[in-house]
């Protein structure tokens, strides 16, 4: 098979922990061709197919020089066996436009995972609201007074922008309301930007768990991202410590409830964020933690992903 990974520039990869790299390595080990491009490479001209200049890679196993380029060609995306969309957030206007180009490629015969329409319909933080029965109290608003009222009701809250990633822009405000006004101004921008507000979950001290769901089935281990020092954020990008652990009964309950529904909508890979017993985010753009879970538990997450991808392609 020829697999195209639409991802960030290869120069930005940290192969010691990059999940896309582990997918590529597993694909090559199975004898598949590994190709890559960036969303900036996608183009669509009148009377032509959605195409991109793409590189065929060979992964060397050398950490310093981890790939060589075998060849570079401008090819229609539908000539690939599968297109794996792995562009990192934020889900901004350019990401949105890229999903439309990928949708057109689908019409031309490309198989894209996760499906572009599903990516558009499940923005990472808003997607949580559909599954409110598993979540802590949550508010999505552009109204500053609504945020103040939510704080008055719940006392201890977390505020974050809808387009954040890696813990960026997350604030905690306790019962004293210290700096609430300044934080609202920073995130809300006088009503110009939507904010998500959630009741603070003390179980964050035990970690913000990333539960991977592949082909509708949970990976049996989560990565608990545990805040360090005085930090409230567990995100690895914010200095959190990643500790793999077996799923709890509640983790299984949430993952089994959401997994089949999301898979049926074209989401081959989903990353559920769970703090304590509460679902906090539904990540669909570029879920990570493959490497950490595999290295710490021995459970081969990339193999599970490639098995699911192969099964999807065979079912077409």
> Does residue 16 have an active-site annotation?
no
Query: Of the given ranges (106-110, 112-116, 226-230, 280-284), which has the lowest mean pLDDT?
Result: 226-230
CATH of the domain at 177: 3.30.1490.20
What are 110-142's pLDDT values in tens digits?
999 999 999 999 987 889 999 999 999 999 999
Q: Which residue in the list 87, 208, 283, 291 is annotated as catalytic?
A: 283
Q: Which domain holds residue 253?
A: 203-310
Query: Distance (Å, rounded) from C-alpha 270 to C-alpha 215?
Result: 9
Structural contact between residues 293 and 299, judged by C-beta atoms closer than 8 angstroms: yes
pLDDT for 123 equals: 86
Residue 122 lies in a domain: no
> Does residue 281 have an active-site annotation?
yes
Same domain, 72 and 43: yes
Q: Which of 80, 114, 148 is the last residue of a domain?
A: 114
Q: Which residue in the list 18, 208, 251, 273 is annotated as catalytic?
A: 273
Query: Distance (Å, rounded) from C-alpha 286 to C-alpha 91?
Result: 11
pLDDT for 236 equals: 66
What percent of the chain has pLDDT above 90?
A: 85
Same domain, 212 and 194: no
3-state helix, strand, coil in the chain (%, to 5): 35, 30, 35
Q: Which residue in the list 25, 87, 111, 125 is annotated as catalytic?
A: 125
Same domain, 102 and 178: no
Residue 129 lies in a domain: no
CB atoms within 10 A of CB 262: 24
> Does residue 283 have an active-site annotation?
yes
Residue 316 lies in a domain: no
Residue 127 lies in a domain: no
Band of the pLDDT at 64, cuts 50, 70, 90? confident
In sequence order, the β-bridge partners of residue 34 are 3, 57
Band of the pLDDT at 169, cuts 50, 70, 90? confident
Query: Distance (Å, rounded) from C-alpha 202 to C-alpha 139?
Result: 18
Average pLDDT over residues 196-205: 94
Q: Which residue in the list 18, 26, 208, 281 is annotated as catalytic?
A: 281
Segments in the chain forming alpha helices (H): 19-29, 93-107, 116-121, 144-154, 180-188, 249-264, 290-297, 301-314
What are 287-303's pLDDT values in tens digits?
999 999 999 999 999 99
Residue 119 lies in a domain: no
Same domain, 9 and 78: yes
Average pLDDT over residues 43-54: 98
Q: Which residue in the list 25, 111, 209, 210 is annotated as catalytic?
A: 210
CATH of the domain at 220: 3.30.470.20
Same domain, 216 and 303: yes
Same domain, 55 and 93: yes
> Does residue 124 have an active-site annotation?
no
Average pLDDT over residues 77-94: 93
pLDDT at 226 over 70: yes
Closest CA to 183 of 167, 165, 195: 195
CB atoms within 10 A of CB 13: 16
Q: Which of 79, 114, 149 is the last residue of a domain?
A: 114
> Does residue 273 have an active-site annotation?
yes
Same domain, 173 and 257: no
| Whole-prediction pTM | 0.93
Residue 274 lies in a domain: yes
CATH of the domain at 15: 3.40.50.20
Average pLDDT over residues 82-108: 94
Q: Which of 182, 200, 218 is the last residue of a domain?
A: 200
Band of the pLDDT at 227, cuts 50, 70, 90? confident
Number of domains in the chain: 3
Same domain, 178 and 212: no
The CB-side HSE value for 275 (13 A sphere, CA atoms) comes to 23
Same domain, 150 and 106: no
pLDDT for 310 equals: 98
Same domain, 165 and 231: no
Name the burial class of residue 223, with classes exposed (0-12), middle (13-18) and buried (19+) by CB atoms within 10 angstroms of its CB. buried
pLDDT at 234 over 70: no
Query: Distance (Å, rounded) from C-alpha 314 to C-alpha 291?
Result: 26
Residue 132 lies in a domain: no
Same domain, 154 and 226: no
Closest CA to 275 of 174, 131, 132, 135: 135
- Between the alpha carbon of residue 124 and those of residues 31, 59, 172, the distances in Å are 33, 31, 20
Residue 128 lies in a domain: no
Query: Distance (Å, rounded) from C-alpha 105 to C-alpha 96?
Result: 15
Q: Which residue in the list 111, 209, 225, 291 is annotated as catalytic?
A: 225
Q: Which residue in the list 233, 235, 251, 291 is annotated as catalytic?
A: 233
Average pLDDT over residues 225-239: 70
Same domain, 211 and 250: yes
Average pLDDT over residues 147-174: 90
Band of the pLDDT at 168, cuts 50, 70, 90? confident
> Does residue 231 have an active-site annotation?
no
The CB-side HSE value for 92 (13 A sphere, CA atoms) comes to 8
In sequence order, the β-bridge partners of residue 68 are 58
Query: Distance (Å, rounded) from C-alpha 129 to C-alpha 137?
Result: 10
């Amino acid at each position: 098979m020829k697999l195209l990974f639409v991802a960030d520039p290869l120069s930005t990869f940290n192969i010691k922990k990059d999940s896309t790299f582990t997918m590529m390595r597993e694909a090559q080990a199975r004898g598949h061709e590994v190709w890559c491009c960036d969303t900036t490479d996608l183009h669509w001209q009148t009377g032509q197919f959605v195409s991109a200049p793409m590189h065929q890679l060979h992964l060397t196993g050398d950490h310093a020089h981890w790939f060589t380029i075998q060849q570079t060609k401008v090819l229609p995306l539908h000539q690939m066996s599968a297109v794996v969309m792995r562009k990192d957030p934020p889900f901004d206007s350019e990401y949105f436009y890229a999903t439309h180009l990928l949708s057109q490629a689908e019409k031309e015969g490309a198989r894209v995972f996760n499906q572009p329409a599903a990516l558009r319909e499940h923005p990472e933080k808003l997607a949580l609201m559909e599954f409110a029965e598993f979540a802590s109290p949550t508010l999505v608003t552009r109204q500053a007074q609504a945020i103040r009222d939510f704080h008055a009701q719940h006392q201890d809250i977390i505020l974050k922008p809808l387009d954040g990633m890696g813990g960026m822009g997350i604030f905690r405000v306790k019962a004293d309301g210290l700096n609430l006004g300044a934080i609202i101004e920073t995130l809300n921008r006088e009503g110009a930007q939507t904010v998500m507000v959630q009741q603070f979950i003390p179980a964050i001290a035990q970690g913000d768990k990333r539960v991977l769901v592949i082909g509708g089935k949970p990976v049996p281990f989560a990565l608990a991202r545990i805040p360090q020092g005085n930090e409230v954020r567990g995100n690895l990008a914010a200095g959190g410590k990643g500790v793999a652990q077996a799923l709890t009964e509640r983790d299984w309950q949430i993952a089994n409830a959401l997994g089949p529904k999301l898979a049926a909508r074209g989401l081959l890979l989903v990353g559920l964020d769970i703090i304590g017993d509460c679902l906090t985010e539904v990540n669909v753009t570029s879920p990570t933690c493959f490497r950490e879970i595999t290295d710490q538990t021995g459970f081969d997450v990339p193999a599970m992903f490639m098995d699911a991808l192969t099964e999807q392609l065979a079912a077409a």
